[in-house]
């Protein structure tokens, strides 16, 4: 009897990567692979990488070394952003057998059929990012209670700190018809919440070739709101300059789109925003927050912010701190700036010492903690709907309210993947 081949997959990075890893997993299982937990021995290990920060690169290398110690005869496949940006560097890591760039990621089955174990440099299957086009739909299923649904990929913005356009290519999208079909498939799996994901989600509407927009994000959410069987949609992240008044007003009255926005800011200093080549100033950001809160006082607003960008003086950092302190936002995702090759920022003057970057990170993490405590306290006494996860940890389970407050309670199997009325 022929032994069934096994595969284990691991994701580094964003919700978009999670959706793609889940899709790769289903493709491999359809070809006869048996999926195994990543900490167990498998014939093939697939690592879907991120490269937003240097830490993601280091983590990938550490994982490969662990696999080498545990299962030296297994195949190791690296894909994702890091694989597109630095294929030669990855191929030279001992134990890596195959590197798949952005255009080859979803051809993994064919590549595995031709793969042979080597003791030398791994095989590279990649192309220039300018040659990458087409849209590969993907979504996560059975990995967690919520599903991450990719509707857009790539980015036409060229922020001075960012490698994502070099790793994922031009902005391109699925069609509204195809997205709705994917949602209907997801509904059949008993999923109650879908998180819409993309690199630049608000830029939705350019076809797979990245040409002129035929549709837009507002039209997409209007159509999704009509789909029967799904109870909750969440918008993962949207640029402030693409968050239109129409979208805000629509979410405010929708029964399905959750009162929760995640809006990247990156800096509260207009001078630094200019150096970052962001497409807005802080007044626009403030205006968006005020619009949301006027219509939905209970709405959660998350913020991405980068500390230690070149040229960020003490005064510029204080501008950011004060701006965030005064804004009615709920929590922060704080990133410490790290130099990325081939970006404009790496050539800029005014590098901030690492210790100062780390100190500023701590200051904003503390502010985030206070913001979240305050936001949660504001909701005290209200009743909100919580979707509970199936995972059990230390006899506890957790879930999120519609406005993204995390709730923990003793585990009850009958509450898993159920929406429960909950008094905060």
Q: How far apart are CA 54 and CA 81, in angstroms?
A: 12
The per-residue b/e assignment along 293-325, b for 16 or more CB within 10 angstroms, e otherwise, is eeebebbbbbbebbbbbbbbeeebbebbbebbe
Which residues, in sequence order, are bridge partners of residue 420? 386
- What tokens does 388 get? 């509970």
Mean pLDDT of 52-73: 84
Order of strands, edge to edge, in the sheet holding 75-80? 34-35, 6-11, 44-49, 75-80, 98-100, 123-125
pLDDT, greater one: 122 or 249: 249
* pLDDT on residue 2: 61
355: CB partners within 8 A, 6+ apart: none
Task: Report the helix count and the strand count for the chain, using DSSP H and E.
Answer: 13, 19
Specify the range with the lowest mean pLDDT, choosing from 114-118, 224-228, 242-246, 323-327.
Answer: 114-118
Specify the range with the lowest mean pLDDT, choosing from 135-144, 271-280, 388-397.
Answer: 135-144
Mean pLDDT of the chain: 93
* pLDDT at position 155 over 70: yes
Residue 169 burial by Cβ neighbours in a 10 Å radius (0-12, 13-18, 19+)? buried
What is the percentage of the chain residues whose pLDDT exceeds 90? 78
* pLDDT on residue 143: 65
pLDDT, tens digit (0-9, with 9 covering 90-100), for 371-393: 999 999 999 999 999 999 988 99
Query: What's 311-324 look like in SS3?
Result: CCCHHHHHHHHHHH
Mean pLDDT of 120-133: 83
Q: How far apart are CA 167 and CA 159, in angstroms?
A: 13
**Cβ 152 vs Cβ 172: under 8 Å:** yes
417: CB partners within 8 A, 6+ apart: 145, 190, 192, 387, 388, 389, 390
């Amino acid at each position: 009897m022929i032994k069934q081949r096994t595969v284990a997959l691991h994701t580094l990075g964003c919700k978009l990567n999670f959706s793609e890893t889940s899709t790769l997993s289903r493709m491999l299982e359809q070809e006869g692979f048996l999926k195994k937990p990543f900490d167990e021995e498998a014939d093939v290990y697939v690592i879907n990488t991120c490269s937003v920060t240097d830490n993601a690169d280091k983590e990938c290398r550490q994982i490969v070394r662990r696999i080498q110690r545990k299962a030296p005869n297994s195949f190791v496949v690296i894909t994702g952003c890091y694989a597109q940006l630095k294929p030669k560097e990855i191929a030279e890591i001992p134990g890596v057998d195959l590197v798949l760039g952005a255009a080859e990621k979803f051809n993994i089955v064919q590549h595995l059929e031709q793969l042979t174990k080597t003791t030398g440099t791994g095989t590279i299957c990649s192309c220039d990012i300018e040659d990458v086009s087409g849209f590969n739909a993907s979504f996560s299923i059975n990995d967690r209670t919520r599903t991450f649904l990719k509707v857009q990929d790539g980015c036409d913005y060229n922020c001075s700190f960012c490698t994502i356009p070099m790793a994922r290519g031009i902005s391109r999208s699925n069609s509204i018809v195809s997205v709705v079909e994917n949602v209907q498939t997801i509904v059949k799996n008993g999923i109650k919440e879908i998180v819409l994901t993309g690199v630049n989600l608000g830029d939705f509407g350019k076809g797979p070739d990245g040409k002129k927009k035929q549709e837009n994000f507002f039209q997409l959410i209007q159509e999704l709101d009509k789909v029967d069987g799904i109870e909750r949609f969440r918008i993962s992240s949207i640029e402030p300059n693409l968050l239109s008044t129409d979208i805000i007003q629509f979410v405010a009255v929708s029964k399905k789109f959750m009162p929760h926005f995640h809006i990247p800011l990156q800096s509260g200093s207009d001078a630094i925003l200019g150096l970052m080549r962001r497409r807005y100033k802080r007044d626009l950001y403030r205006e968006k927050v005020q619009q949301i809160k006027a219509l939905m006082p209970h709405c959660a607003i998350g913020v991405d912010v980068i500390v230690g960008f070149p040229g960020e003086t003490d005064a510029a950092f204080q501008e950011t701190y004060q701006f965030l302190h005064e804004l009615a936002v709920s929590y922060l995702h704080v990133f410490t700036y790290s130099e990325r090759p081939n970006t404009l920022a790496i050539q800029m003057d005014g590098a901030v010492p690492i210790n100062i970057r780390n100190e500023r990170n701590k200051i904003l993490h503390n502010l985030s903690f206070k913001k979240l405590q305050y936001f949660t306290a504001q909701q005290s006494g209200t009743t909100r709907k919580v979707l509970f996860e199936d995972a059990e940890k230390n006899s506890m389970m957790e879930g999120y309210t519609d406005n993204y407050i995390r709730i923990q309670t003793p585990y009850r199997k009958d509450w898993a993947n159920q929406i429960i009325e909950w008094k905060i």
